[in-house]
Amino acid sequence: MTNDSQQAKAPAFARQLETTPRAGAGTWAVRMQGIGKQYRLGAARQASDNLREDVTNALRSLVTGGAGRQPLFWALRGVDLEVARGESVGIIGRNGAGKSTLLKILSRITPPTTGEMRYRGRLASLLEVGTGFHRELTGRENIYLNGSILGMRRHEIARQFDAIVDFAGVEQFLDTPVKFYSSGMYVRLAFAVAAHLRTDILVVDEVLAVGDAAFQKKCLGKMQDAASDGRTVLFVSHNMAAVESLCSKAILIESGSITRVGRTSEVVGHYFSGNGTGGFGAIPEDIPRSGTGQARFTAAYLLDETGQPVNSVFMGDSIRIAASFRVKPGGLLTPRFGVRICTLRGICAARFTTKETYGEVAPIMGEAGHFLLDLEGLRLLPGKYAIELGFSEAGQMVDFIEQAATFEVRAKNTNPDHKVIDNSMAITYAECQWNFSGVPFEEGSP
């Protein structure tokens, strides 16, 4: 909602909305009240030493559908939300904050544990394109099947059929099984069906983050059409740029509740600022993180050549990252580490893992440890960057922190004739030189 205060918390916001209807769209399209979702942490199942007890437990869990007594946790709790008709709302938050759970509830894939959600009109969710495509079926058959899965009536698909085929450009292959399609044709056809979905409410996942740039653009364009048509769009994404360009309003989810609702730019700004990680140093225990917790990162540093911690580097400088961690008894037998450097808008510039660039890390049996990672020749453009730390063992994430620390790359002009841009347009640079000529380029010419 355009005029709401950026500080408004969700429930207050919801009340406010009801009394300040927007011109032309006075009613809500989606309304959630007290929505919560509880999951059981289903990791280690305790075996009892009593066979009979095991059997009765198994029988009981067969009937009740629950398993044993694993701890419960709330992935979402007390979510109140109201979205007016014709609005496009971005839902943002870090991994594990409850975004995908909310998405699953919105798209009806999983029911809430508490509360109630109502929506008006037809709701369709696009969690991926081409859901339900069958390899053996022809393009024509798949259009009907996929359309039905997305909630279109058969006659609606028939009416849109030519437009879908046109959009995908697959006329000649309509009666060929899609297993013979090129992957490009396949994706085009899948997207064409989704794009012609006529629905009142559209729930979209980050599907748009996959595919090439042209494809993304097409997707965003179609979604924008939907929004300007007066349809309601709920867009769950990591891609802040997409959220900002598409959504007038955004919702921030943190630890399972809505912590902020308001204009997209304000909510996105809050998301970036409120990370609790200014610069480098000790990593707070309660930072948003995921993983089993067998080990935890405790601190991260950026070091200069003399080994002193710093907060910033100049463009082109080599970078040394140090990260300390603490390990619980039992140690880690096959640890793997990963580091990513991303912009604060979530675009990653580089990724380093021990699996790919080091090899097997020796088992860690002590209580703590650290690693040093030296990076040469990473040419980052000026701006703020975040360091993402990950730690896994035997394919399971032990600890993962999306923004363990942030640092700044400062501008330094190595060539006075060049203009330095910041990392909002691009992330990396190279020494460059342009040459022009008045004749067309031909192979073999210098």
Q: Is 380 exposed, middle or buried (0-12, 13-18, 19+ CB in 10 A)?
A: buried
Q: 156-160: which pairs have CB atoms within 8 A and are 24 or more residues apart?
A: 156/198, 160/196, 160/198
- Can residue 141 be called a binding residue for other proteins (CB under 8 A)? yes
Task: Give the range of 121-129, 167-175, 344-352, 412-420 binding other proteins by CB under 8 A.
Answer: 121-129
Residues 302, 369 contacting (CB under 8 angstroms): no
Closer Cβ to other proteins, 178 or 267, answer by number = 178
Q: Are strands 309-310 and 295-303 parallel, antiparallel or unpaired?
A: antiparallel
By CB under 8 A, name the one of 90, 93, 98, 112 that touches other proteins.
112
* Token pair 């979530």: residue: 346
- Least distance to other proteins from the beta carbon of 107, Å? 6
Distance CA 216, CA 230 (A): 22
By rule CB under 8 A, what string of x and - marks binding of each residue 1-30 to other proteins? ------------------------xxx-x-
- Can residue 347 be called a binding residue for other proteins (CB under 8 A)? no
- Least distance to other proteins from the beta carbon of 25, Å? 8
- Can residue 85 be called a binding residue for other proteins (CB under 8 A)? yes
- Least distance to other proteins from the beta carbon of 229, Å? 7
- Least distance to other proteins from the beta carbon of 117, Å? 4
Residues 401, 299 contacting (CB under 8 angstroms): no
Size of the site for other proteins (CB under 8 A): 55
By CB under 8 A, name the one of 72, 109, 163, 368 that touches other proteins.
109
By CB under 8 A, name the one of 121, 169, 221, 363 that touches other proteins.
121
Task: Give the range of 141-149, 329-337, 341-349, 416-424 binding other proteins by CB under 8 A.
Answer: 141-149
- C-alpha pair distances (Å), 377 with each of 9, 318, 350, 373: 45, 6, 11, 13
Residue 313's identity, in one-letter code, is V
- Least distance to other proteins from the beta carbon of 291, Å? 19
Closer Cβ to other proteins, 140 or 384, answer by number = 140
By CB under 8 A, name the one of 77, 94, 104, 188 that touches other proteins.
104
Read off the DSSP letter of residue 23. T
* Token pair 């909510």: residue: 267
Read off the DSSP letter of residue 381. P
Residue 357's identity, in one-letter code, is T
Which tokens in the block code for residue 180?
A: 């013979």
Taking the CA of residue 12 as centre, how many other CA atoms within 13 Å lie in the half-sphere pointing to its CB? 10
By CB under 8 A, name the one of 114, 255, 290, 311 that touches other proteins.
114
Distance CA 272, CA 268 (A): 6
- C-alpha pair distances (Å), 384 with each of 312, 401, 403: 9, 17, 12
- Can residue 74 be called a binding residue for other proteins (CB under 8 A)? no
Closer Cβ to other proteins, 25 or 364, answer by number = 25
Name the site residues for other proteins (rule: CB under 8 A): 25-27, 29, 36, 39, 65, 85-86, 104-105, 107-125, 127-128, 131-132, 134, 136-137, 141, 144-145, 148-155, 177, 198, 200, 229-232
